[in-house]
Amino acid sequence: MTNKLIFFFVTLFGIGKFSKIPGSISSLVTTLLLFFLFHTVNISPDIVLFCIVIIFFFSLYIVSIYIKKLDNKDPKEIVIDEFIGQSIPICLYEIAHRDSKETGEVLTFYFIMFILFRIFDITKPYPVSYYDKNFKNSFGVIMDDVCAGLYVVAVMVLYMVFNS
């Protein structure tokens, strides 16, 4: 795989090179893309989740190639991890709510999931911080965002349990 393709993959087509808040921008782009895929194109969330799992494993390999010669093993331009982490709660939300939903309700939940993911990704509560601090490789780069996404899932499940 060429260096240019690796760069475009790990930076989510260059979004990671934005000088300000590339993680938040990539999370927002991911949220908007998934809304489009689920609610305009009507792609099954099962298919998208399967693709996210493939991207996760592929990312472990590609990010390791990208950071191999870098001193900083978690450079801010790598945002494929934000794509993966933000996708987890949105895909699981769509799988859990297969029946038709009001667009306003969906947009509200997507917004909440976006904000929660950014909070957990930035503040890094345990075990997000554990992966961030203890694994200076592609696994650490990606797993802290996976954990942040799973925290969002936990919060959303608790909200839905207590509001039913």
**CA 79, 6, 65, 49 torsion: positive or negative?**
positive
Residue 82 lies in a domain: yes
Binned at pLDDT 50, 70 and 90, residue 75 comes out as confident
Give pLDDT tens digits for 94-129.
Answer: 999 887 779 999 999 999 999 999 999 999 999 888
pLDDT of residue 78: 96
**6-57: per-residue pLDDT in tens?**
999 999 999 999 999 999 999 999 999 999 999 999 999 999 999 999 999 9
Instruction: Tell whether the model's pLDDT for residue 72 goes beyond 80.
Output: no
Residue 123 lies in a domain: yes
How many Cα atoms sit within 13 Å of 65 on the Cβ side? 13
**Domain limits for position 78:** 21-162
Which DSSP string do the residues of the chain spell out, in sequence order? --HHHHHHHHTTTTGGG-SS-HHHHHHHHHHHHHHHHHHTS---HHHHHHHHHHHHHHHHHHHHHHHTT-SSSS-TT--HHHHHHHHHHHHHHHHHT-S---HHHHHHHHHHHHHHHHHHHHH--TTHHHHHHH--SHHHHHHHHHHHHHHHHHHHHHHHHHT-
Q: How confident is the model at residue 87 (pLDDT cuts 50, 70, 90)?
A: very high
Q: What is the mean pLDDT of the chain?
A: 93
Question: pLDDT digits over 118-162, tens only?
Answer: 999 999 999 888 888 888 889 999 999 999 999 999 999 999 899
Between 87 and 97, the higher pLDDT residue: 87
Question: Structural domain tally of the chain?
Answer: 1
User: Is 51 domain-assigned?
Assistant: yes
Would you say residue 133 lies in a domain? yes
- What's the pLDDT score for residue 152? 98
Q: Is residue 10 part of a domain?
A: no
Residue 6 lies in a domain: no
pLDDT tens-digit series, residues 22-36: 999 999 999 999 999
**11 within some domain:** no
